[in-house]
Structure 1
């Protein structure tokens, strides 16, 4: 069953103005901002931010009245073309990062089909909450809703005030019945006519007989209701730009056998790589879009660690996932799109017998990554604080040039967060004699230290005097641990003097 996400930007115009500082410069967040449209001598508000709305300004209000109501109101000329361009850039961002099927939904929204794509982002809840949070970090206010149909997701994202809304599979009917009828994407005169008849909600409209409804208002209300409840399909036409490299194949007779699908995948990959070669590009992410005869669509996404133009490698990544394709009553069209492509330079492989062959792990990384595995490697960071001395990078990322500090031994396993332990020790610089960790009491037989580590005062002022004294301790069973005391054991300003276990030696 398809799962559709509707992303709504209630303040797209004003968010764009604040983000880029167009016309008004840097507008403070607490200062009301509106966009003004004009026709001849008439000027009115076409967009207002949250602060302006709280002060009583509304869309359509004359600009002179708004200016008289609020002193210091920032008024910027509306730019619908720039708003549309910003929305298109956002749609392309979502297309590359979240789903193969993304389209612009009106002048203030984006719609995407996330069937089979949510698991790559930790599930539906994490996917849409992460998307909303990333957009907020870019200075954009958004609301997202996910449901079984485009109509339901569109309505919920615009009616409800929650940042994220998730409708369980098959749960549309219980959620949309109380919604007002203007959420059905009907013409304004149709909505007004229904309200004259006393119909205000989706539930009231769905209870009406279809024949008289169609006779008076035409087929549109019934069609929108069916789209809302998911009774009829509403395909999403994916956004495409001239920069995207795309190949497709339509079939006079629908296909469905796995062998046939694999054959045409290999042919499409061959055509795609030939196009990429003419442009000097390699693909980093490609989408296989499958259109079925029942007017539904399925998608497969393959990501690569490095730009690739090898037909055999791309074909294997896609063909290995053929079992995920449900051909239904048959496939009538297949499209392969290079969503992300980067310049690719051909490199000559050394043929000298004296040179050691370098094994490329990128193919293995691609196979594991497309199975949903999160791959990374660790690299050293120039920091004395242990938890900051390492960070995760991509499995094929370039070397950072940093090296590990080997002055003192470090544990093979560093805990994600130091754990509090109860300790008996002689202050100020003696190691523990006995400590209790995770409910088990351990007597120390040997110890080495202390190794004093100072806080990074140039990053945080509160670390100016903070210190840690680390000890390597060994218990009666021969197990070794890395523990530290917060503080120097004398001055309370240097730390709490509590003890923590930070790592375990293998």
Structure 2
């Protein structure tokens, strides 16, 4: 049954939302409810609940703070702003993050339109008036992307929209060549502000929603500060206060976000992460001090807020071995945090074993603080190439003998000893192309003492098992 939502507008009931089935029958947003009921006799009309919609958006925004971005704001009545500056790489890039966001919304039963742009105003306009459900504007392409959109995409007030229609302004492209002075006299100053915000000529800070469950402390200063020493002193005080809250809740932080408000109304945000939950103020202070150089104090900072958006349960540490005189195992978590704070979290990892027989899939980078697990007993080279390299001029006795000669990287190698083959089949459950894929691996040694791990595609007999080409996959010590 088609469903539509109604709300009281002025003195009549209007349609404010409709399902796809109702839209297919001619129901449109803004249509009078009596007209819609006359057009579709079995239309299910229900009153809209804007308060429930706002509450749902707020819950979704709090979920986004924990999972997507530290800065998420509600854009009434039906949208969210996500500031993914500096965190898009954590989700695999902007395009992959947007696709995952679409899949998430569809999975819970909601349609979604996503836009990524340099400014919040441009993203807001393209998400609602863009040509497709997913629009990603490259840096510097805001103007051309906004030009074909209608003037209503700039979030103008109804009087400004009526004035725009009166003067013949239909698209954003019609506003761009007009001087700001005459345009302000025709549409009003708020319309110029909206246009400048969308183009990036005027700032539009996003006031992100705060997670009410996240531990948070703040400090307001009597006088603005701007030196690194003063900022570090405020960080120390905030961390001491936050440590007391964390201890009372038996929590440890995995991520910290420091928000410093400048006297001009803008904010400076820096964040740090830890490999393991901790509430040690001295260690967290060292991590935050690495971010001081990223804070632009401007004319001065007057308000600081320290938030822990990601926390985990942290109980007391057992000290029985220490009291007994045994030396405890050294925890590398502090070293990992310091190195990651200097060169980036993605540059610090530990290779862990993965459940795969294919050599390049048998190991993968993981959490540096995690346990590597048990490694298989298979003999593998010390240096395994990420991509196998082709061999040329191979002389070998098929089907199960190692090569006697090959050329690799322009150098000829004469093999004096070899062992194998070790047959590895493709993982057919991943993709159909690996159903008949076979690799025969050999450990060979050349006359110069070099030891290599080479393989042949195919079993040496059947052509559909591989193209019988030879490849170098690793080098032994």
**How would you bin the TM-score normalised by the shorter chain?**
0.7 to 0.9
More displaced stretch, 263-272 vs 197-206: 197-206
Residue aligning to 1:387 = 360
Instruction: Give the CA deviation at 1:219.
Output: 4.0
Residue aligning to 1:29 = none
Distance 1:215 1:420, change over 3 A: closer
In structure 2, which of residues 231, 239, 255 is the aligned counterpart of residue 261 of structure 1?
231
SS in 2 for 1:138: helix
Instruction: Give the CA deviation at 1:103.
Output: 0.9
Equivalent-residue separation in structure 2 for 1:425 and 1:257 (angstroms): 70
Equivalent-residue separation in structure 2 for 1:433 and 1:260 (angstroms): 70
Instruction: Give the CA deviation at 1:134.
Output: 1.8
Distance 1:504 1:394, change over 3 A: same
Residue aligning to 1:480 = 451
Residue aligning to 2:423 = 452
Equivalent-residue separation in structure 2 for 1:393 and 1:238 (angstroms): 31
**Alpha-carbon contact 1:414-1:504 (below 8 Å) kept:** yes
1:365 aligns with 2:345: no
Q: Give the aligned length.
A: 460
Distance 1:304 1:53, change over 3 A: farther
Residue aligning to 1:299 = 269
Equivalent-residue separation in structure 2 for 1:454 and 1:47 (angstroms): 53
After TM superposition, the structure 1 = structure 2 runs for residues 174-185 of structure 1, keeping only pairs within 5 Å, are 176-185=146-155
Equivalent-residue separation in structure 1 for 2:433 and 2:446 (angstroms): 34
Distance 1:399 1:413, change over 3 A: closer
Residue aligning to 1:36 = 4
SS in 2 for 1:333: strand
**Alpha-carbon contact 1:233-1:295 (below 8 Å) kept:** no
Equivalent-residue separation in structure 2 for 1:78 and 1:503 (angstroms): 64
Equivalent-residue separation in structure 2 for 1:151 and 1:364 (angstroms): 42
Equivalent-residue separation in structure 1 for 2:148 and 2:359 (angstroms): 55
Residue aligning to 1:19 = none
Equivalent-residue separation in structure 2 for 1:63 and 1:307 (angstroms): 58
Equivalent-residue separation in structure 1 for 2:37 and 2:333 (angstroms): 59
Equivalent-residue separation in structure 2 for 1:391 and 1:159 (angstroms): 42
Residue aligning to 1:133 = 99
In structure 1, which of residues 312, 321, 331 is the aligned counterpart of residue 282 of structure 2?
312
In structure 1, which of residues 352, 355, 358 is the aligned counterpart of residue 326 of structure 2?
355
**Alpha-carbon contact 2:459-2:465 (below 8 Å) kept:** yes
After TM superposition, the structure 1 = structure 2 runs for residues 240-259 of structure 1, keeping only pairs within 5 Å, are 240-259=210-229
More displaced stretch, 328-337 vs 53-62: 53-62
Residue aligning to 1:427 = 398
More displaced stretch, 297-306 vs 373-382: 373-382
Equivalent-residue separation in structure 2 for 1:353 and 1:202 (angstroms): 75
More displaced stretch, 133-142 vs 312-321: 133-142
1:282 aligns with 2:252: yes
Q: Unaligned stretches of 5+ in structure 2?
A: 107-111
SS in 2 for 1:135: helix
**Alpha-carbon contact 2:7-2:48 (below 8 Å) kept:** no
**Alpha-carbon contact 1:156-1:165 (below 8 Å) kept:** no
SS in 1 for 2:299: coil
Equivalent-residue separation in structure 2 for 1:54 and 1:492 (angstroms): 55
**Alpha-carbon contact 1:431-1:450 (below 8 Å) kept:** yes
More displaced stretch, 234-243 vs 319-328: 234-243
**Alpha-carbon contact 2:423-2:438 (below 8 Å) kept:** yes
Equivalent-residue separation in structure 2 for 1:250 and 1:75 (angstroms): 51
Equivalent-residue separation in structure 2 for 1:330 and 1:321 (angstroms): 17
Larger RCO: 1 or 2 (CA < 8 Å, sep 6+): 1
Instruction: Give the CA deviation at 1:346.
Output: 1.1
Residues 313-347 of structure 1, C-alpha deviations (whole Å, 9 max, x = no match): 11111112211111001112111111111111111
Instruction: Give the CA deviation at 1:501.
Output: 1.9
When the two structures are superposed, what TM-score results if normalisation uses the length of structure 1? 0.78
